[in-house]
Amino acid sequence: PFVFSSGWASPVFIDLKRMISFPDARNIIMEKTYDHIERIFNQKKPDMIVGCELAGVPFASLVADRFHLPLVVALKTRRGFGRLAQFEGYFPLNAKALLVDDLTTDGATKTKMAQGLQIAQAELLDIFVIFAYETFPQTATVKRLLNLHDIVNFARAENRLPPHELSILEDFLRDAPS
């Protein structure tokens, strides 16, 4: 199994970082992402897009560019002093943020980033990821484009995995700790 930084183990590892190197796939996923984010904007409009260090930054950059919003990078740890010590870039007090990342396992990193925004006196409107495992207990509420169930259902419907590998994933989903 793959063991994530959260300590959770999974029979599958989703690596969205590679997707940035494939323009056609990236564009398809980002168009779907923009549609989801526009629905979030209908309820509440952010003043900025915050990308999670490191893998979330390319995706957050594309979102910020698409919606013509400032981009800020949230760091995993504080560096230096002051209210913006956990961020690259600038935002004023009480700025409304949409936090964007590539994926989440248990949401612990997103919770840390949300706490950083609170310390920096910003308002977190929502968290959006392209992929959420949704098989582990969550520490943060996250909106997502896809989850592991979606991928397993697609693999099954399109015969994309050998039966024994599909069985491993289906067993994992059925017995996951969530």
- The pLDDT, as a whole number, for residue 159 is 97
3 state SS of 154: helix
How long, in residues, is the chain? 178
Region for 22 from its dihedrals, namely left if φ exceeds 0, alpha if ψ lies in -120 to 50, beta otherwise: beta
Does residue 117 register a pLDDT over 70? Answer: yes
Q: What is the pLDDT of residues 27-36, one digit of tens each?
A: 999 999 999 9
